[in-house]
Amino acid sequence: MEITWEDRFKGIGAFWKHDGNPKRPYARLTSGKISNGFFNGEIVAKHAKIFGEACEALAAKATVFSLRDSRFEHFVVGPAMGAIKLSGRIAESFDFFAAYAERGEEGLFVFKRTAPGETARVALCEDTITTGGSLRDLRATIKNICPKGDVALEILALCNRSKNASAYGDEATIPGHRIIALVNRNDMPIWEEGNNPFTPDGRELVPPVRPKGIDNWFALTRMYD
C-alpha cells in the first residue's frame, strides 16, 4: 500500500485527525478555537530529511518553475512565520530568490528584509492554508510592490485544510489561484466553544486539549474503547 504524505506527517506527530470516537478529545488550537484536525508545520521543518523531500515533492507538482524568464527576477515568497523555511528550501531547488513577509502596522504585510523588486515573478507558499486570508493579504502587498511582475497562479502548501484546492476564479480559496498541497483536507472545520458540528447540542463531550506537549498528544492519539 502506498504511503501518503498524510501518513508520513502522522508518523512524526505533525498531523492528527479525530476518528469520531466520543471519548477522544478534540484539539484546541493556538487561536483558542477547536477543531477535529491539526497540522503542525514546525514539526515537519524540524525533520530535515522529510522536510526536504516534501519541498521537492511540492515543486515537482507545480508548473511555475518551468516558466523561468531571464527578463525577470524569480522569487518564492511566503508569510512569516510558517513559510520562512519553506520558501527558502523550495527556492534553493530552482535557484530562485527567497523572501518572506511579516505583519506590520494595521495588519498589512511588509518585507523587512529581502523583498522582490518591481519586475519580480513570485510563487506563493505556505505551510498550512486554513482560510487563505494571509495569502490573500500577502498577494495584495506583492502586487503593489511588483507592478511590472506577476504572481503565479499556483500556490504551494504542505497542508491545505481550506474549502477549495482545485478551483481557479472567484470560487477558489484564493481567487484566481489553485492550491497545490501534499495534504488536502476540507473536512477539518474550526469552531468556537459550544458550536461543535459533530455533537447533537454543540458541546464538547470531553474537554479539548492543545496538541503540543507529550501528555496532550497522547490524549489525542491513544486507543479508546
Q: Where are the alpha helices (DSSP H) in 76-203?
A: 84-94, 133-145
Residue 213 is predicted with a pLDDT of 87
Give the pLDDT confidence of 22-36 residue by residue, as tens digits.
999 999 999 999 999
Please report, for the domain that includes residue 130, its CATH number: 3.40.50.2020
Average pLDDT over residues 88-97: 90
Q: Is the pLDDT of residue 67 over 70?
A: no
> Poorest-confidence range of 37-51, 155-169, 193-207?
155-169
Cβ-contact 121, 74 below 8 angstroms: yes
Q: Where are the alpha helices (DSSP H) in 103-175?
A: 133-145
CA distances 154 to 33, 151, 179, 202, Å, are 29, 9, 6, 37
| SS3 category, 213 | coil
> Poorest-confidence range of 65-69, 82-86, 147-151, 185-189?
65-69
Residue with cell 474503547: 225
Residue 176 is predicted with a pLDDT of 93
State how far the Cα of 214 lies from the Cα of 122, in Å rounded to an integer.
39
What is the grid cell recorded at 151? Answer: 504572481
Q: How many domains does the chain have?
A: 1
Q: Is the pLDDT of residue 1 over 80?
A: no
pTM for the full predicted model: 0.93
Domain range spanning residue 56? 5-221
Give the pLDDT confidence of 187-204 residue by residue, as tens digits.
999 999 999 999 999 999
Cβ contacts of 113-116, under 8 Å, gap ≥ 24: 115/145, 116/73, 116/75, 116/77, 116/142, 116/145, 116/146, 116/149
Mean of the per-residue pLDDT values of the chain? 93
Kindly state the greatest CA–CA separation across the chain. Answer: 62
State how far the Cα of 7 lies from the Cα of 187, in Å rounded to an integer.
17
Is the bond leading into 81 cis (omega within 30 degrees of zero)? yes
Q: What angle do CA 83, 84, 90 make, to 5 degrees?
A: 75
Give the pLDDT confidence of 112-147 residue by residue, as tens digits.
989 999 999 999 999 999 999 999 999 999 999 999
**Bridge partners, residue 158, by sequence:** none
